Amino acid sequence: MAKFLEWSDDYLTNIGPIDADHRKLFKAVNDLYDSFAIDDTDARFAELFEMLAEYVDVHFSREEELMRGMGYPNLEEHLIGHQELATTVHEYAKIYRSDPGAISRKEVLKFLGNWLSKHILGSDMAYVPYIKLDHENKPTFPK
C-alpha cells in the first residue's frame, strides 16, 4: 500500500532520539492512513488515533526537555505550537471516539500530514543549530 507520508532525509535533524521520534510519528500517521484506505472499523481508527495522540505527548516532552537543556532562545514560541497541536490532536481523537461521524477521517489525515511535515521542516529545524551532539548523535547538555 502506498504511504500517505513519505520519509526523506529532508526530515533528518541528525539528533538520534528526535529523528527516531519523527519516524515513529510518520509511521503512526501512515498507520492511520492505512486504516482509512481499507475502510477499517471506527473502533480501530479511533484506537490508532489515540496511540498517535499519546505518542505526540511523549515526543513533545522529549523535545521540550532537549530545548530547555540547551537554552533554545525560541522555546516559548515552540511550546505554544506544541500545545496547540497537542490540544487539537487530543480534541479530534476525543470527538472521533465519541462520534466518528462528526469528523472526517480524510480531514484529520490532511491536518496531521500538513502539520507534521511543516513542523519538522520549519520549527524543528530552527532549533537544530543550538543542539550539541556526542559521537552517537545524542544530545549533550551544558554543565
Q: Using one digit for the tens of pLDDT, what is the confidence trace for 34-61?
A: 999 998 899 999 999 999 999 999 999 9
Q: Is 58 part of a structural domain of the chain? A: yes
For residue 42, what are the domain limits?
Answer: 14-140
Q: Is 3 part of a structural domain of the chain? A: no
| CATH number, domain containing residue 111 | 1.20.120.50
State yes or no: pLDDT of 29 exceeds 80.
Answer: yes
Q: Is 125 part of a structural domain of the chain? A: yes
Q: pLDDT category, 21, cuts 50, 70, 90?
A: very high
**Which helix (H) or strand (E) segment is 132 a member of?**
strand 132-133
Q: pLDDT category, 143, cuts 50, 70, 90?
A: very low
| 140 bridge partner residues | 132
pLDDT digits (tens, 9 = 90+) for 86-114: 999 999 999 999 999 999 999 999 999 99
pTM of structure = 0.88
Q: Is 70 part of a structural domain of the chain? A: yes
State yes or no: pLDDT of 135 exceeds 70.
Answer: no
Q: Is 66 part of a structural domain of the chain? A: yes
Phi-psi region of 82 (alpha: psi -120 to 50; beta: other; left: phi over 0): alpha
Q: Is 1 part of a structural domain of the chain? A: no
Q: Is 41 part of a structural domain of the chain? A: yes
How, if at all, do strands 132-133 and 139-140 pair? antiparallel
Mean pLDDT of the chain: 90
Q: Is 2 part of a structural domain of the chain? A: no
Q: What is the pLDDT of residue 54?
A: 95
